[in-house]
Amino acid sequence: MDISNETSVDPFIIGPSSIIVRTIAYRVLFCKSISHLRHQVIRILLAYLYKSKEYVTTYLTPLILWLHPQNPQGIVLLVTLIAFSLKRYTNLKMRAEMAYRRKFWKNMMRTALTYEEWAHVSRMLDKETIRMNEADLYDEELVRNKIQ
């Protein structure tokens, strides 16, 4: 057995890789202290907020006033949006639960040891499976004409 003090390390990049992260790193290096950096960041954010004040007064204020509780159209719109989002959320949740149960029964079917277990799991899986309307699979009028 040969023991040595040498080791090999794969090359890897140390330091920031994107231009934004490099800019932030240089900013930190050139600031006198962290508090100085914090004051500069706050000053920049306040400048952006001051510039966006005009946008808020021009576009968002009328929207907020339109959704005021004394405005009946705003209330109807808000209730409709809430109902739509709740319905969508509950529908997604129900679908996810059904998919989980179907996956559970499929796994149970795969691991069944006897035919009786497999048949029981098969019936449970059939209960969980959404039934398609068989009339959607063929042209009913065409079949009726062919039979006549």
pLDDT for the residue numbered 113: 92
pLDDT for the residue numbered 136: 64
Residue 125 · residue 102 · CB < 8 Å: yes
Q: How many CA atoms lie within 13 A of 148 on its CB side?
A: 6
pLDDT for the residue numbered 13: 56
Percentages helix, strand, coil for the chain (3-state, rounded to 5) are 75, 0, 25
pLDDT for the residue numbered 116: 93
Tens-of-pLDDT digits for all 148 residues of the chain?
A: 555 555 555 555 555 567 777 777 776 676 666 677 777 778 888 888 777 777 777 777 777 777 777 777 777 877 888 888 877 777 777 788 888 888 998 999 999 999 999 999 999 888 887 765 565 667 778 888 888 8
CA proximity to 75, closest of 66, 88, 84: 66
pLDDT for the residue numbered 131: 64
pTM greater than 0.75:
no
Residue 67 · residue 78 · CB < 8 Å: yes
